[in-house]
Amino acid sequence: MSSNAPNKSVLVVGAGIAGIQASLDLAELGADVHLIEETPSIGGRMPQLDKTFPTNDCSLCILAPKMSECARHPGITLHPCSSLTSISGEPGNFVCEITEQAKYVDPEKCVACGLCEQKCPTKVVDEFDMHLRKRKAIYRYFLQSIPSNYVIDAEHCLYLTKGACRLCEKICEAHAINFEDKDKVISLNCGAVVLSSGIDPHDPIVHAQYGYKRFKNVVTSLEFERMLSASGPLMGHVTVPSNGKEPKRIAFIQCVGSRDVENKNDYCSSVCCMYAIKQAIIAKEHIKGLEPTIFFMDIRAFGKDFDKYYERAESQYGVKFVRSKVARISESNGGTLRLRFSQENGKRKEEDFDMAILSIGLEPRKKMEKFADCLDIKLDEYGFARTSLFEPLNTTKDGIFVCGAMSGPKDIPESVMSASGAVAECTKFLALERQEKVSKKEFPPEKDVIGDRPRVGVFICHCGINIAGVVDVPQAVDFAKNLPNVEHTEDLLYACSQDCLDTIKEKIKEHNLNRVVVASCTPRTHEPLFRETLREAGLNQYLFEMANIRDQCSWAHMNEPELATEKAKDLIQMAIAKARNLVPLKRLPIDINPKALVIGGGLAGMTAALVVARAGYEVHLVEKDSELGGNLKDIYSTLEGDDPQKLLQETIKEVKENNSITVYTNAKIEEIAGYIGNFKTKVKTGNKKSEIEHGIVVVATGAKEYETKEYLYGKNKRVVTQLEFEKLLHTEKIKEYKPRSIVMIQCVNSREEERLYCSRVCCGAAVKNSLKLKEIYPSADIYVLYRDVRTYGLKEKYFGTARDKGIVFIRYDLEHKPQVEPMDKDNPDSKLLIKTMDPILDAQVVIEADLLVLSVSIDALQENKELAKLLKVPLNADGFFLEAHVKLRPVDFATDGIFVCGLAHGPKYIEESMVQAKAAASRALTILSKKTIEAEGTICWVNPDKCSGCGVCVEICAYSAIELNEEGIAEINEALCKGCGACTASCRSGAIDLRGFTDDQIFEAVNAVEI
Amino acid sequence: MKEWQPKILAFLCNWCSYAGADLAGVSRIQYPPNIRVIRVPCSGRINPISIMKCLQNGFDGVLVSGCHPGDCHYITGNYYARRKFAVLKTLLEFIGIEPGRVQFSWVSAGEGEKFAEVIKKVTEDVKKLGPAKKLVKI
Amino acid sequence: MDIFKIEKSKLKQFLDDLSKKYSVFVPAKQDRVTSFKEITLNSQLSTLNSYNTDKPPKDIFFPQTETLFTYDENSQLSTLNSQLSKPIAIFGVRPCDAKSFTLLDKVFDSEKYTDTYWKERYKDALVFALGCNNPLSTCFCNWVGGGPFNKEGADISLIDIGEAFLAEPCSKKGEEVIHKLSLQKATEDDLKKGNQLKNEAESMLSKPVEISSLKEDLDALWNSPKWEEIARKCLNCAACTYLCPTCHCFDIQDEGKSSKGKRIRIWDSCMFKLFTQEAAGTNPRPTGKERMRQRIMHKFNYLVETIGEFGCVGCGRCIISCPVNLDVREVIKEIKKVRN
Amino acid sequence: MENIEKQLRETVKKLLKEKKVDLVIGYSKGTLPLHSTPVFITHEKDVDNLIFDATCGNNLAKYLGKSRKPKTKNRKPIGIIVKGCDGRSIVQHIVENQIKREEIIIIGVPCDGVIDTRKLEEKVGRKEVLKYQVEGEKIIVEGKDFKNSLKKKEILSDSCLMCKYPNPPVYDIFVGEPVPVNENRKPNTDNLESLSPDKRWEYFEKEISKCIRCYACRNACPLCYCEECFVDQSGPQWFGKSPDLSDTMIFHIVRTLHTAGRCVSCGACTRACPTGVNLAPLGIRMEKEIKDRFGYTAGLDTEATPPMADWNENDKQEFIM
């Protein structure tokens, strides 16, 4: 097996969202990916989740397309039920031994019909459903599992344990059961390894005071998630376990197994606050009149748009938040739970609840030590994979990288970013070349349907109860059945799951369908998936149409099932009407210019530029300032003790020395024209203007500290910002203040109406700089006035250190902001008096301060607006760039070929910016590494017989894609046309039409509705 | 007797208003179930002819919603749309069509709430006007 | 045959009586446009005194839109019941238009082909044709074998003698009806007056151009470049054909959707490009030249062949209505000139 | 006027003689009183047929549309006699690539309005006019048993009464003295706008119900040069072709939209209509809207960007929710 030839294989261990993302990116780069997964299906934790915060996107819905894509990608080989047992060799040439457990079912033969499951006599608690349901010994991991085949649980199978039964074998018509199956050991030669085996949920049995397992009505958050899930054991209808009734009052207890020194889990799990809020909101949507209460220490809503979600939970949904650690839970008659807790002011209180949900934390996998041993990687103090601050994706062993929560708690987008980032790190060990072909995947030849009578297949999705809970799906099926040209109608539980996609393919063949309509969710996320399914069935992908009966129907009309059903029927009928008029379309290949433009020469921009340059592509790095470095220039230390200035200098040096990178300083982008693969940008540097041709864009323009006017800032020199303070600390200047008493105020201009977002780094900065000051002046009194301490993740322990060192943290409310006044009203730079309400003392405290440090919000750049316009990409309400999808596409824009990273995307720490920068670069490489990609098929065309050459279209086209030819007839450049249809709508004689949105199709859709 | 439910056709641009409508759904913001949506790439794709067709087919109202000025995914599509709609609206009102029948809005991908508000408003307006008669082909 | 008299003072009464058995159409003015409308309580009869209607009466028998059948989801096709509740009577139609009915009848109810919709309305219709005391400068009925007092196509021929109309039955149907109408007989004086009016009117018309050989002339000129010149100013609208009492081309259209709809027959015009547009994109009459030729040929050549008569009654509406004053008489003269 | 005709004939004769043009499009006397008819002059001998007076209501720019444009020998320019509105229509044709400026020689004539024969009928009743004579601001019409003296203004087209551009904005030769411009004139539909929406609907319903779908309006319009009108389309066939009120109303609405920002309110459509539908208010209302909203007046500038193919980020959007 082993050879020294350049290797393009890579092993990804663990097929959660991080593993899936890493595999997809690697495969797009041209690598041969082996994705191994212990369980029988890829997906990881996400399929267990009902919804995701802060958009309440259905978790499975957003994941399913990625799972399918992963399964379908020709560059990815899936190894379910497998684990990595050893690694030997060198980076670039590892030999990985993988043990693949016997499944006793031949995945090639199994059609997942489920008959075996019905016959199997052995019931086993289902670990996917968190033991809330029983499965059989032969089972499918979950309904939408990929691969879809069944497996036999050897530990419980009667035949395999006791030697008798084999009922499954008898019933299986596909002859897929193979009791002779054995565990296999596979040896793979790989250039690099990506570890993404995730976390285990904390087991709350250790917290005896909460009575988990003793009290039926105490459940973990993961169990509750399954209860909420439409595809879970309760079909989304949450009931009190002890009596089966709808709960009225539920309590969420935060930090179970997190921030817990006693249990040696003195880190924050980062995600529990948000998921508890999410669960409270979703539960409230499910159950009318539900009263959820969240018992918490700090609400850590530090991510993008999280605070708005938190605010909505409280104001709109009436979720009650109680700042308290619950002391104990007792069970009274009938299973009602009594929670004892002390309020902030120390007073004790008891309240009764129907259910208590323990927000359990994220823990390293149980087998981590053993696993680390066989891989020869080191773990940190908690047992997560050890990384260093500035190399957060590198394990202690060269060539082995880590992503996802395996190296510490992360939410979904952070996992996705770390996965893409890890891919960037892998590339140097893989021998990848620029790819010639548009698509590696082979599809069957397209069936010619031109001239055939439309034969429409209609598939109506239940989406669990997401649709079927509101819309009468059987009625819609009956309705669609009788419409003209409809040859087949069927309802599907989850249309996007692999088994249903297979069903669609089968039906296309069986009924010779030549148009397909799926009524389910939104085409914005799912159209590509279904289109690919059509391709796999030998149909042109444009013979597909969706009816959005979930996002724009069942979810929006939850209380009006009849009218929602009427609407759904109309939408389906409109889709069918359009489908009848669909025609096959072709996609034009687009050449990719293998150069990158990176906008912003801060740490994120430089990091992204280096990744791209190291992969062998030319980079143009544009910086508005006179020198590189951005905000990092003002950061002198980190909580963890690493030196950011050293990082900065090294990075700048490498950028400058890299021949593939051209740096433009004092530069301004004046114009960006073109599209993916073929951008043309005009840059002005001083008086010089240059034009850059490039294939992709990375936006890394950064952000800045807000120029606050609060708390006498700018009026008294003793009031400084956290950044200014950091500078003072690292120069001699701090001495001028003789700091004996220092006050820090957190959340200045953050988390308020105008900037309803958390600036994420300020709590850490306050802790960091407090500790630094304590180093210099051990006797100084430091008071941090905060709203919530958000030292999330592994930074939590420094918060503990700070408290241990006597730094005083006093909470304040937005309603009672601290009051700052000069001690001497006549001296503008006099010492300051800070008054604040101490909620623990329940009294006002007055602090004399030599120095007041303001943790001012991180503010989006005004220039973003201009750049967003040039790039035609959106900003969020706060002025930060808005990514394509907050969960699963955190560095992409909706517009192809443009990526975002660093503070331009939102506030974040140095290491987070670096990860995101690497992720953006890695996503960019998936494009740069191809010589051509395909354009959309939905572009405009001119019927020359109808054109009178008036030239309106020429004027209107924003892409200069139309010209009048010698005969004065309009002609469209298909490579330039973006398919907006402005010309189509403006052509008086109807000579231009937009493929995919033709006049005919719009006409038929309008006409289809009965009034 | 059941309350009369108008039917309103909504042309939504893919990048902003359609996404805004999705967001309203994802956020479970409730709004009247009276709209029937046609997704188009851009508000600039909407030919006034299609709006007239809706009115002729008997839709009680028509809404066209696109990206906010400056936000157009296709740079200027909504600016051309705005001119078209201004002229169309003036003409329809000149002819005597009730102003509430044909409406236009800008809703961004992030404005789920606004989308719901727009739909509520349009539905209320149309309900006040009653079933469409003028221009409806019997 | 007896000639009767309808006193104008009793006209209203007369028409009311008539409308008990007939759906009576009279010339009426509505918003500046005169056409034949079914008589109502409020019908003004003053338009009878004016010259011929702007719109021809052909739509009474051959409406611009005729629903052939309707369909809906639940039932089969349903053809509309074309049975009339009452037969039609037209009062005051001019001799040229009365003659147009006979031409159209030859088209719509021939041995080869019968159009039930036409036949149902026309077969029992009663036509009161009113002679033109004051023909217009655009009238050229005398060119095509007509005259201001012609009786062709009429069941009862009327002459306006001032205080009364002379009413002369000129068909079997007219004969039968008129005797039931309890009318006074006309006096000698009345008849004399009538004759005088007739002579005066005929003398008012311009001298006709001799067109007996027009069919042959046209046969010879099919390929003439003259057509291009003739057609040059034509705008290819359908004012001439839609206002022509004898033009009868139509189109069949399906309107509606899959759940319900109808098939209709609507007037069409050879002047439209679309009239001959083929699905594949070609058009045998691609320009105005071919279309203009078609219109003239159809009227003065093809119909002579098929029904033995010119398809023109000389009413002059096409001359009045043409937006560019393209005068068919000039066209005929041009053709004659080229032939000579 | 006679003076103008004389000059006009001389001018055209000279052009033909000097072989500057092979063809001149103008007006000659019609076969009906108060009607002129378009004429295509190729020989000097026919020049004396040329007339120009208040009966010359056709917009001759119609004959310059791309597909209609006569092909001349040796690619010589076409001479065309134009009033103010015809001239503006030609400017639109140039803007819209229907003809190049150098392909035509514009012979401008001053126009103080053309007659709308339906207005005449309102004055004299339903009688046939057989003779007419213009005497200064008066016009004397004569029939078999009547003779009326009318103020010219009373029978001029509504569009002419609002016309601010009686002389063509662009020309090569101008014949006669330009008509003084009345700056106070502007597109005005106040009489209709003062009505309630329902009353306006009633008005248009009444007008449009007269329409017989003969398309004389469209075909007389110089700007309706589409190879295929939307109403004739079959893929899809947006609207029905029968005189159904909805179909017909929508035809006129969409035609008005299609001419918005291009229409010069020449009134040719209204004058062409054989059933007397008053279409002029639609075009006039649009002309006003385009002027107020986008600051644009059609037919003045051959270099202009048509307003419906243009945008401005500051365009008013008071109508958007």
pLDDT tens by residue, A86-108: 999 999 999 999 999 999 999 98
Chain D CB contacts of A990 under 8 Å are 228, 230, 233
How high is the pLDDT of residue C340? 81
Over range A896-905, report the average pLDDT.
Answer: 95
The single-letter DSSP state of residue C90 is E
Mark whether A734 and A853 lie in a shared domain: yes
Mark whether A324 and A338 lie in a shared domain: yes
Q: Is the pLDDT of residue A524 over 90?
A: no
Over range A706-732, report the average pLDDT.
Answer: 95
Q: Residue A909: which CATH number?
A: 3.50.50.60
Find, among C160, C29, C39, the residue nearest to C88 by Cα. C39
Q: Which two tokens stand for residue A989?
A: 């004689």
Q: Which helix (H) or strand (E) holds A123?
A: strand A123-125
Mark whether D166 and D149 lie in a shared domain: no
Specify the 3-state DSSP secondary structure of B57.
helix
pLDDT digits (tens, 9 = 90+) for A45-72: 999 998 899 987 778 778 887 888 898 8
pLDDT digits (tens, 9 = 90+) for D223-282: 999 999 999 998 899 999 999 999 999 999 999 999 999 999 999 999 999 999 999 999
A306 is in which domain, residue-wise?
Answer: 201-363
Packing angle of the helix pair B17-26, A523-536 (nearest 10 deg): 100
Give me chain C's average pLDDT, please.
92
Farthest CA pair distance, chain B: 48
> Would you say B138 and B20 are in contact if contact means Cβ atoms under 8 Å apart?
no
The Cα D294–Cα A1008 span in angstroms is 37
Closest chain C residue to the Cα of A1004, Cα to Cα: C257
**Which residue among C172, C204, C236 closes a domain?**
C204
Residue D317 counted as domain residue: no
Q: Which residue among D206, D216, D243 places its CB closest to the CB of C235?
A: D216
Chain A CB contacts of C274 under 8 Å are none
Task: Give chain A's length.
Answer: 1011
Tell if the CB–CB gap between A948 and D225 is shorter than 8 Å. Answer: yes
Q: Determine the distance in angstroms separating the CA of A241 from the nearest CA of chain B, rounded to an integer.
A: 27
The Cα A95–Cα A190 span in angstroms is 6
Find, among D217, D159, D162, the residue nearest to D184 by Cα. D162
Q: Lowest mean pLDDT: which of A1002-1006, C4-8, D119-123?
A: D119-123
Tell if the CB–CB gap between A948 and D238 is shorter than 8 Å. Answer: no
Mark whether A43 and A136 lie in a shared domain: no
Q: Determine the distance in angstroms separating the CA of B95 from the nearest CA of chain A, rounded to an integer.
A: 21
Listed in sequence order, the residues at least 6 apart from A975 whose beta carbon sits closer than 8 Å to its beta carbon are A588, A590, A678, A935
Q: Is the pLDDT of residue A5 over 70?
A: no
**Which of A948, A992, A1001 to mutate: most D Cβ within 10 Å?**
A948
Chain A CB contacts of B15 under 8 Å are 894
Residue C239 counted as domain residue: yes
**Which residue among D108, D137, D155 closes a domain?**
D155
Task: Give chain B's length.
Answer: 138
How high is the pLDDT of residue C329? 96
Listed in sequence order, the residues at least 6 apart from C20 whose beta carbon sits closer than 8 Å to its beta carbon are none
Distances (CA, A) of A552 to A557, A635, A887: 8, 46, 20
Residues of C with CB under 8 A from a CB of A: 257-259, 281
Segments making up each domain of chain B, as ranges: 8-129
- Helix ranges restricted to H, D115-182: 117-124, 152-155, 158-161
Mark whether C16 and C89 lie in a shared domain: yes
| A574/C contact by beta carbon, under 8 A | no
Mark whether C179 and C274 lie in a shared domain: no
Residues 778-837 of A with CB under 8 A from B: none
Mark whether D90 and D145 lie in a shared domain: no
Tell if the CB–CB gap between B52 and D238 is shorter than 8 Å. Answer: yes
**Dihedral pair phi/psi, residue A82, rounded to 5°:** -125, 155
Residue A3 binned pLDDT confidence (cut-offs 50, 70, 90): very low
**Which of C324, C327, C332 to mutate: most D Cβ within 10 Å?**
C324
Closest chain C residue to the Cα of D207, Cα to Cα: C31
| C306/D contact by beta carbon, under 8 A | no
pLDDT digits (tens, 9 = 90+) for C112-138: 899 999 999 999 999 999 999 999 999
Tell if the CB–CB gap between A1009 and B25 is shorter than 8 Å. Answer: no
Residues 69-128 of B with CB under 8 A from A: 70-77, 80-81, 84, 108-110, 116
Mark whether C222 and C173 lie in a shared domain: no
Find, among C282, C28, C14, the residue nearest to C158 by Cα. C14
> Would you say A900 and A696 are in contact if contact means Cβ atoms under 8 Å apart?
no
Residues 239-258 of C with CB under 8 A from D: 239, 241-243, 251, 253, 255
The Cα C286–Cα C273 span in angstroms is 7
Q: Parallel, antiparallel, or unpaired: how do β-strands A326-331 and A337-342 relate? A: antiparallel
Mark whether C180 and C282 lie in a shared domain: no
| A945/D contact by beta carbon, under 8 A | yes
Mark whether C178 and C297 lie in a shared domain: no
Q: Parallel, antiparallel, or unpaired: how do β-strands A678-685 and A667-675 relate? A: antiparallel
Which DSSP string corresponds to A187-247? EEEESEEEE---EEE--GGG-GGGTBTTBTTEEEHHHHHHHH-TTSTTTT----TTT-SPP
CB burial of residue C84 (10 Å; 0-12, 13-18, 19+): middle
How high is the pLDDT of residue A439? 61
How high is the pLDDT of residue A808? 97
pLDDT digits (tens, 9 = 90+) for C294-308: 999 999 999 999 999
Mark whether C241 and C177 lie in a shared domain: no
Specify the 3-state DSSP secondary structure of D169.
coil
Mark whether D261 and D299 lie in a shared domain: yes
How high is the pLDDT of residue D2? 58
Mark whether D299 and D230 lie in a shared domain: yes
pLDDT digits (tens, 9 = 90+) for A548-593: 999 999 999 999 999 999 999 999 999 999 999 999 999 888 899 9
Q: D236 preceded by cis ω (within 30°)?
A: yes
Task: Give chain D's length.
Answer: 321
Q: Determine the distance in angstroms separating the CA of D260 from the nearest CA of chain A, rounded to an integer.
A: 11
Residue C209 counted as domain residue: no
The Cα C234–Cα D219 span in angstroms is 9
Bridge partner residues of C167 (DSSP): C4, C158
- Please count the structural domains in chain A: 7
pLDDT digits (tens, 9 = 90+) for D31-86: 998 999 999 999 999 999 999 999 999 999 999 877 667 666 567 899 999 999 99
The Cα B18–Cα B24 span in angstroms is 10
Q: May I ask the CATH architecture of the domain B8-129?
A: 3-Layer(aba) Sandwich (3.40)
Tell if the CB–CB gap between D212 and C232 is shorter than 8 Å. Answer: no
Q: What share of chain D is helix, strand, coil (3-state, %, to 5)?
A: 40, 15, 45
Mark whether A510 and A382 lie in a shared domain: no
Give me chain B's average pLDDT, please.
93
Q: Determine the distance in angstroms separating the CA of A139 from the nearest CA of chain B, rounded to an integer.
A: 32
| A866/D contact by beta carbon, under 8 A | no
**Dihedral pair phi/psi, residue B84, rounded to 5°:** -60, -45
- Please count the structural domains in chain C: 2
Residues A429-448: b if buried by 16+ CB within 10 A, e if exposed = bbebeebeeeeeeeeeebee
pLDDT digits (tens, 9 = 90+) for A226-275: 999 876 888 778 999 999 999 999 999 999 999 998 888 999 999 999 99
Q: C169 preceded by cis ω (within 30°)?
A: no
Sign of CA dihedral A459, A461, A462, A468: negative
Mark whether D136 and D238 lie in a shared domain: no
**Which residue among C204, C223, C243 closes a domain?**
C204
How high is the pLDDT of residue A109? 81
**Dihedral pair phi/psi, residue A7, rounded to 5°:** -115, 130
Q: Is the pLDDT of residue D171 over 90?
A: yes
**Which residue among C148, C181, C204 closes a domain?**
C204
The Cα C90–Cα C25 span in angstroms is 5
Give me chain A's average pLDDT, please.
93
> Would you say C154 and C128 are in contact if contact means Cβ atoms under 8 Å apart?
yes
Residue C247 counted as domain residue: yes
Over range A408-420, report the average pLDDT.
Answer: 97
Farthest CA pair distance, chain D: 65
Mark whether C107 and C227 lie in a shared domain: no
| D255/C contact by beta carbon, under 8 A | no
Q: Is the pLDDT of residue C139 over 80?
A: yes
How high is the pLDDT of residue B1? 58
Tell if the CB–CB gap between A997 and B45 is shorter than 8 Å. Answer: yes
- Please count the structural domains in chain D: 2
How high is the pLDDT of residue C81? 63
Mark whether D205 and D289 lie in a shared domain: yes
Tell if the CB–CB gap between B57 and A877 is shorter than 8 Å. Answer: no
C288 is in which domain, residue-wise?
Answer: 214-339
Mark whether C30 and C153 lie in a shared domain: yes
> Would you say C33 and C44 are in contact if contact means Cβ atoms under 8 Å apart?
no
Mark whether C52 and C188 lie in a shared domain: yes
Mark whether A30 and A136 lie in a shared domain: no
The Cα A779–Cα A772 span in angstroms is 12
Mark whether D256 and D287 lie in a shared domain: yes
Mark whether C323 and C219 lie in a shared domain: yes
**Which residue among A129, A153, A182 closes a domain?**
A182
How high is the pLDDT of residue C1? 63
pLDDT digits (tens, 9 = 90+) for C80-107: 666 778 999 999 999 999 999 999 999 9
**Which of A988, A994, A1003 to mutate: most D Cβ within 10 Å?**
A988
Mark whether A187 and A177 lie in a shared domain: no
Q: Which residue among D122, D126, D243 places its CB closest to the CB of C50?
A: D126
Which DSSP string corresponds to A941-959? EE-TTT-----HHHHH-TT
Closest chain C residue to the Cα of A484, Cα to Cα: C258
Mark whether D12 and D26 lie in a shared domain: yes
Tell if the CB–CB gap between B104 and D244 is shorter than 8 Å. Answer: no
Q: Determine the distance in angstroms separating the CA of B131 from the nearest CA of chain A, rounded to an integer.
A: 10
> What is the CA D264 to chain-centroid distance, rounded?
7
> What is the CA C53 to chain-centroid distance, rounded?
10
Bridge partner residues of A293 (DSSP): A251, A320
Q: Is the pLDDT of residue C76 over 90?
A: no
> What is the CA D58 to chain-centroid distance, rounded?
6
How high is the pLDDT of residue A142? 87
Find, among D113, D111, D110, the residue nearest to D177 by Cα. D110
Residues A864-891: b if buried by 16+ CB within 10 A, e if exposed = beebbebbbbbbbebbbbbbbbbbbbbb
Residue B112 binned pLDDT confidence (cut-offs 50, 70, 90): confident
Q: Determine the distance in angstroms separating the CA of B125 from the nearest CA of chain D, rounded to an integer.
A: 12
Mark whether A726 and A839 lie in a shared domain: yes
Q: Which two tokens stand for residue B26?
A: 């994802």
Over range C320-327, report the average pLDDT.
Answer: 96
How high is the pLDDT of residue A456? 98
Tell if the CB–CB gap between C258 and A945 is shorter than 8 Å. Answer: no
Residues 1-40 of B with CB under 8 A from A: 5, 7, 9, 14-15, 18-19, 21-40
CB-facing half-sphere around the CA of D213: CA atoms within 13 A: 22
Tell if the CB–CB gap between D227 and A955 is shorter than 8 Å. Answer: no
Closest chain A residue to the Cα of C256, Cα to Cα: A1007
Listed in sequence order, the residues at least 6 apart from A504 whose beta carbon sits closer than 8 Å to its beta carbon are A457, A459, A492, A495, A516, A518, A530, A533, A537
| C71/D contact by beta carbon, under 8 A | no
pLDDT digits (tens, 9 = 90+) for A126-156: 999 999 999 999 999 987 788 988 999 999 9
What count of other Cβ atoms lies within 10 Å of the Cβ of residue C216?
A: 12
Q: Lowest mean pLDDT: which of A181-185, A702-706, D91-95, D142-146?
A: D142-146
Q: Which residue among B28, B44, B116 places its CB closest to the CB of A985?
A: B44
How high is the pLDDT of residue A1? 37
D292 is in which domain, residue-wise?
Answer: 2-116+156-309
Q: Which strand ranges, in their side-by-side order, compose the sheet holding A688-694? A: A667-675, A678-685, A688-694
Residue D182 binned pLDDT confidence (cut-offs 50, 70, 90): confident
Closest chain A residue to the Cα of C260, Cα to Cα: A1010
How high is the pLDDT of residue D73? 59
Q: Which residue among D246, D286, D310 places its CB closest to the CB of B56?
A: D246
Q: Which helix (H) or strand (E) holds A688?
A: strand A688-694
Closest chain D residue to the Cα of B48, Cα to Cα: D254
Tell if the CB–CB gap between D32 and C134 is shorter than 8 Å. Answer: no
Tell if the CB–CB gap between C32 and D121 is shorter than 8 Å. Answer: yes
Listed in sequence order, the residues at least 6 apart from A694 whose beta carbon sits closer than 8 Å to its beta carbon are A593, A595, A596, A597, A620, A679, A681
How high is the pLDDT of residue A135? 94
> Would you say A407 and A387 are in contact if contact means Cβ atoms under 8 Å apart?
yes
How high is the pLDDT of residue C257? 83
| A115/D contact by beta carbon, under 8 A | no
Residue A438 counted as domain residue: no
Q: Which residue among A285, A550, A567 places its CB closest to the CB of B33?
A: A567
Over range A720-744, report the average pLDDT.
Answer: 94
> Would you say A378 and A274 are in contact if contact means Cβ atoms under 8 Å apart?
no
Residue A2 binned pLDDT confidence (cut-offs 50, 70, 90): very low
Bridge partner residues of C7 (DSSP): C164
